[in-house]
Amino acid sequence: MASSTAHHPSVAQQAEIESFQDHLSKSTRILALLGAGLSASSGLPTFRGAGGLWRTHDATDLATPEAFSRNPGLVWQFYSYRRHMALKAKPNPAHYALAELARQKDGFLTLSQNVDGLSPRAKHPEDRLKLLHGSLFDVKCFEFFCNYVERNNYTDPIVPALAIPTSEEDPTTTSALAVRELDISDERVYIPELDYEHLPKCPKCKRGLLRPGVVWFGEALPSGVLSDIDDWMKQKGKVDLIMVIGTSAKVYPAAGYVDAARAKGARVAVFNMDPNDVPASGLYEGDWFFQGDAAQILPEILKPVIGELKEMPDAAAEQDDAVTDG
């Protein structure tokens, strides 16, 4: 096990890369566990560490049903901002590399903790991508007795009160005023306090507030997603490999898939900027740690299997696919 960058690897690092590539090419049952670091170079912040603060709030403090009950306006401002940023962002080469690996290897299943929609936009085959923590672009009713769910809602802002405030700049040289979006993740930028009447309502029960269709702390992961993964795990044959990419692997049950894969024989390959961010059970003999920006190192290290990435079109988001459960 050694840390490595793909661009100027030492001889020892090159040997590690080649040993991983050799194992990958022989592997048939492969998992990937993805986290926020995968989308970092697309410009989206991670949860823990420097990028994890939104205004004065720890991002994970806003990701709870209790926070939404207490202050739905603030929580919607946080999620509306993130929907807006994710829509402006583009998938990076690592999203495309993983999508290509899924096309090359039938037995490759990706478990993503990310809610930003970038893997689907990189055309990751849908049946091989399990969204453990939902999607920023699903919305559902917050009322306990209402089961309204809407998928692929890309309306930005979802209600006018959640529009990103702008400042008008006068460049003095032209008559037109340039409009600049303000960065509301910065606590110095004023945002209004929003109440029930400003926020999106459920079209089914007409009473409840809509909420983002993501999995908050204390909530169960989508049952269909969990059972699909269980079925995959139970299939005959060992698991050859799990790639742990851009995640601190601290949130469960997602992080538990590393040990579950290991229990089925998998070797573990970690791709992370931070050499300390290894899964809780550590790294074993025969595992790999590749240090660097996933967007740079992943396409390089996967190249013997996926080849050179060709064009990377940013697929247009599919719209208007509303589903009401029940």
Catalytic residues: 133
| Residue labelled with tokens 């290897």 | 105
126 appears as a binding residue in the annotation: no
Strand order of the β-sheet with 134-141 is 149-150, 134-141, 210-214
Q: Which is nearer to ligand BJW, 29 or 79 (CB)?
A: 79
Residue 237: CB minimum distance to ligand BJW, A = 28
Q: Which is nearer to ligand BJW, 29 or 78 (CB)?
A: 78
CA distance 154 to 325: 19
141 appears as a binding residue in the annotation: yes
| Residue labelled with tokens 């004023």 | 190
146 appears as a binding residue in the annotation: yes
Neighbours of 268 (CB within 10 A): 25
202 appears as a binding residue in the annotation: yes
Residue 37: CB minimum distance to ligand BJW, A = 2
Q: Per the structure block, which two tokens stand in for 217?
A: 């702390």
Phi, psi of 118, deg, nearest 5: -75, -35
Q: Which is nearer to ligand BJW, 52 or 208 (CB)?
A: 52
Phi, psi of 239, deg, nearest 5: -95, 130
CA distance 199 to 69: 13
Q: Which is nearer to ligand BJW, 44 or 202 (CB)?
A: 44
Give the DSSP letter string of 177-218: PEEEE--TTSTTS------GGGS-B-TTTSSSBEEEEEPPTT
Q: Per the structure block, which two tokens stand in for 148?
A: 């309204």
Output DSSP code: residue 213. Answer: E
For binding to ligand BJW (CB under 6 A), which residues are involved? 35-37, 40-41, 46-48, 60, 63, 113, 115, 133, 214-220, 246-248, 250-253, 272-274, 277, 293-294
Residue 6: CB minimum distance to ligand BJW, A = 12
Residue 150: CB minimum distance to ligand BJW, A = 17
Which residues does the annotation place in the binding site for Zn(2+)?
141, 146, 202, 205
